[in-house]
Amino acid sequence: MTESFQGGGITGRGDAESIAIQVLNFIVADVDRIIQFLNVTGLQPETIRASAQSSQFLLGVLEYVAKDDELLKAIDQGLKIRPTAILAAIMHLSPEPEAKTSDKKVDVAPQLPRRNLFH
């Protein structure tokens, strides 16, 4: 069953991974596309199935597609997945930025001694 993500209505990581898998299947289904994908990524055909288990790999697939306007158009036409949905999926699969912790030491310039000017 192919879900349609025309409006970019992605509600979470599951939807994002679903889009990435659909996009990967779209790439794999065309000989020219898969050859170009393998050449760019350095992957081997035997490793794609195992790699597809990783969210980081799926993120990489979407980032690869996002850089190719012609491929984005083909996916929009063939899968009815809008570029905005692909960008939203990238956001959902991207790792969270590291939160600053308060236990890290911060380099602060040493304070100069105060002088009392009213002596």
Tell me the per-residue pLDDT of 4-41, one tens digit each, with 9 for 90 and over: 455 446 778 999 999 999 999 999 999 999 999 999 98
Number of domains in the chain: 1
- The domain containing residue 67 runs over which residues? 27-93
Looking at the domain assignment, is residue 77 inside a domain?
Answer: yes
The model's pTM is 0.73
pLDDT tens per residue, range 67-104: 999 999 999 999 999 999 999 999 999 987 765 555 55
What is each CA distance from 91 to 11, 74, 103, in whole angstroms? Answer: 11, 21, 29
Looking at the domain assignment, is residue 3 inside a domain?
Answer: no
Looking at the domain assignment, is residue 89 inside a domain?
Answer: yes
Q: Which long-range contacts (CB under 8 A, 24 or more apart) does 75-84 make?
A: 75/23, 75/26, 78/26, 79/2, 79/22, 79/23, 79/26, 80/2, 80/4, 80/5, 80/6, 81/4, 81/5, 81/6, 81/19, 81/22, 81/23, 82/5, 82/6, 82/7, 82/8, 84/7, 84/8
Looking at the domain assignment, is residue 7 inside a domain?
Answer: no
